[in-house]
Structure 1
């Protein structure tokens, strides 16, 4: 098995959308995925990109990704926000998630960001246990998620 990590390219968007749908199904909310491929591509590779990603190729096929954007904290400054990280079900437990997360850490350091933030569902024990392996990870259950959908 040959694994390589690289920056996502526009040509990866269709496959990324397939993996994002896999994630939506895993999180028991496929009906919540409403973004179109065109909007997704434009948002990542148009004139003003708002997200970036790394992909993991296994034997030449994208089987995992980590998608992030830069947010601003009035307390901490610029921070990376990890929107989603997913390894396709067939390839979980093979160290691919660690390769992607380590690449995110490297990217955040290279960009001189103040840190990385993300969310994890409270029932996703495998993800929680994955993150616990990283030194300095803080779980904060004192904030409530809020959103307005249009």
Structure 2
């Protein structure tokens, strides 16, 4: 495999991360759903009250993969790492980068003393589902996602 650098994301990565997020949204058939601005994204990760952290993998100085997470508190389980996105650019898939990021997340869970890690996967994303099954992940079909947009909340 080509030489790579796995590291913690810095503010200067945000523009590239947004590009990859838009690439993911296109893959997930929801390109118009990315409404966060670069400024909002930067503030959420590197402002006065950061809410997310990410690990990135760069090859030849270009970020080609990342895993972004935040802390989720479960009244049943305690602190858990919530994996929001794990993205590997199409040309770099199948090279073990996803595994490297996943392993780094497991290390983070252990270092922070969390009770586990949770995430979501689309039911039609077979490559991702198969990847997660390799780890013995529990895939729970019993929950339905619910959300309200900023506009919906404003209208209430």
Q: TM-score range by the shorter chain?
A: over 0.9
Structure 1: runs of 5 or more not aligned: none
Cα deviation digits, residues 15-35 of structure 1 (max 9, x gap) = 000000000000000100000
Q: CA RMSD in A?
A: 0.6
Q: Which residue of 1 aligns with 2:56?
A: 55
Residue 59 of structure 1 deviates from its aligned partner by 2.0
> Per the alignment, in what secondary structure is the counterpart of residue 29 of structure 2?
coil
Cα deviation digits, residues 6-53 of structure 1 (max 9, x gap) = 000000000000000000000000100000000000000001100000
Cα distance between partner residues in 1 of 2:16 and 2:75: 35
> Per the alignment, in what secondary structure is the counterpart of residue 118 of structure 2?
strand
Q: Which residue of 1 aligns with 2:138?
A: 138
Q: Which residue of 2 aligns with 1:15?
A: 16
> Per the alignment, in what secondary structure is the counterpart of residue 142 of structure 1?
coil
State the number of aligned residues. Answer: 149
Residue 61 of structure 1 deviates from its aligned partner by 1.0
Residue 58 of structure 1 deviates from its aligned partner by 1.2
Structure 2: runs of 5 or more not aligned: 151-156
Question: Which of structure 1's runs of 4+ aligned residues deviate more than 4 A?
Answer: none
Q: Which residue of 2 aligns with 1:41?
A: 42
Cα distance between partner residues in 1 of 2:77 and 2:149: 27
Q: Name the TM-score, length of structure 1 as normaliser.
A: 0.98
> Per the alignment, in what secondary structure is the counterpart of residue 114 of structure 2?
coil
Cα deviation digits, residues 61-84 of structure 1 (max 9, x gap) = 100000000010000000000000
Cα distance between partner residues in 1 of 2:35 and 2:75: 30
